[in-house]
């Protein structure tokens, strides 16, 4: 029996945060159950029992412990299985900087990046036109955010300091989505941000997961033909 079950969806940036955390931790003893979001499978009665808002990801353990919200899941798993993705409890300054970096990602990056992903990526699969005004406003916020990040990353290798942490993982899925939507220049046009991105994406565990996802996507597309 696997240690736990991860309920998620293919192409879900929230699910991918958890998967990247597990990949970085070298942890494979779990079952991945994928929902079709476009069919509304996440709103099933069974999943509503796991997640009161009927969303993903969720993890459940055989003994009954259940947890939702991607960042909470990532932090819990890193602590439970001792993944080297969090500062040590004894280093309160590093922990404070991690908490700060995590808050910054949520407050200044995730919301506008998520809006762009929804308008330019999700709506495309729904057959709906994007709200270009919403995209323009969100892109301005993203540009402003990475102007600040550019200055900070000139002095730090990673978002929370000198070490790669969950704070860096949290960015990866939505930045990948920005690239998919044609906005990769937001990253690549900034020297320090681009170098940070290269350091993240050149990590073996991340490269392996990205390659596996590309193969899975190609196989799914081929099956539809």
Please write the tens of the pLDDT for every residue from 94-103. Answer: 999 999 999 9
DSSP 158: B
pLDDT tens for residues 25-65?
A: 999 999 999 999 889 999 999 999 999 999 999 999 999 99
In whole angstroms, what is the distance from residue 41 CA to residue 35 CA? 6
Instruction: Check pLDDT > 90 for residue 219.
Output: no
**Percent of the chain, pLDDT > 90?**
88
| Residue 40 in tokens | 């509304």
CATH number for the region 4-85 comes to 3.40.30.10
Instruction: Check pLDDT > 90 for residue 106.
Output: yes
Q: Which residues lie closer than 8 Å to 119 by C-beta, 6 or more apart?
A: 130, 131, 132, 134, 135, 138
Q: How confident is the model at residue 221 (pLDDT cuts 50, 70, 90)?
A: low
When the pLDDT of each residue in the chain is averaged and rounded to a whole number, the result is 95
Specify the pTM.
0.94
The number of C-alpha atoms within 13 Å of 199 and in the hemisphere containing its C-beta is 18
pLDDT tens for residues 61-83?
A: 999 999 999 999 999 999 999 99
Sheet-wide strand order for 66-68: 30-34, 4-8, 58-60, 66-68
Does domain 92-207 bear CATH number 3.30.9.10? no
Question: Comparing C-alpha atoms, which of 80, 68, 75, 56 is closest to residue 3?
Answer: 80
* pLDDT of 213: 85
- What radius of gyration do the chain's Cα atoms show? 18
Instruction: Check pLDDT > 70 for residue 220.
Output: no
Buried b or exposed e, range 63-74, using 16+ CB within 10 angstroms? eeeebbebbebb
**Percent of the chain, pLDDT > 70?**
97
Q: Which helix (H) or strand (E) holds 98?
A: helix 92-104
4-85 and 92-207: identical CATH topology: no
In whole angstroms, what is the distance from residue 153 CA to residue 135 CA? 26
* pLDDT of 223: 67
Domain definitions of the chain by residue range = 4-85, 92-207
The number of C-alpha atoms within 13 Å of 221 and in the hemisphere containing its C-beta is 6
Instruction: Check pLDDT > 90 for residue 157.
Output: yes
48: left (phi over 0), alpha (psi -120 to 50) or beta: alpha
For 176-197, what is the mean pLDDT? 97
- Helix ranges (H only) for 105-180 are 111-117, 123-126, 132-152, 166-169, 172-180
Instruction: Check pLDDT > 80 for residue 222.
Output: no
Instruction: Check pLDDT > 70 for residue 2.
Output: yes
Instruction: Check pLDDT > 70 for residue 159.
Output: yes
Q: Which residue has the higher pLDDT, 191 or 222?
A: 191
């Amino acid at each position: 029996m696997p240690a736990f079950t991860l309920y998620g969806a293919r192409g879900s940036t929230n699910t991918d945060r958890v998967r990247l955390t597990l990949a970085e931790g070298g942890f494979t003893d779990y079952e991945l159950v994928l929902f079709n979001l476009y069919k509304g499978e996440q709103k099933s009665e069974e999943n509503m029992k796991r997640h009161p808002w009927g969303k993903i990801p969720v993890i459940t353990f055989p003994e009954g412990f259940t947890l939702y919200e991607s960042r909470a899941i990532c932090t819990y798993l890193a602590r439970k299985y001792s993944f080297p993705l969090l500062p040590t409890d004894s280093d309160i300054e590093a922990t404070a900087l991690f908490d700060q970096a995590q808050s910054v990602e949520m407050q200044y990056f995730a919301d506008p990046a998520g809006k762009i992903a929804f308008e330019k990526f999700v709506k495309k699969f729904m057959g709906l036109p994007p709200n270009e005004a919403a995209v323009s406003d969100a892109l301005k916020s993203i540009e402003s955010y990475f102007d600040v990040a550019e200055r900070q990353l000139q002095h730090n290798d990673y978002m929370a300091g000198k070490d790669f942490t969950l704070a860096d993982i949290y960015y990866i899925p939505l930045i990948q989505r920005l690239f998919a939507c044609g906005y990769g220049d937001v990253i690549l046009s900034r020297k320090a941000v681009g170098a940070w991105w290269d350091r993240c994406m050149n990590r073996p565990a991340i490269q392996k997961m990205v390659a596996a996802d590309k193969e899975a996507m190609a196989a799914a597309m081929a099956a539809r033909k």
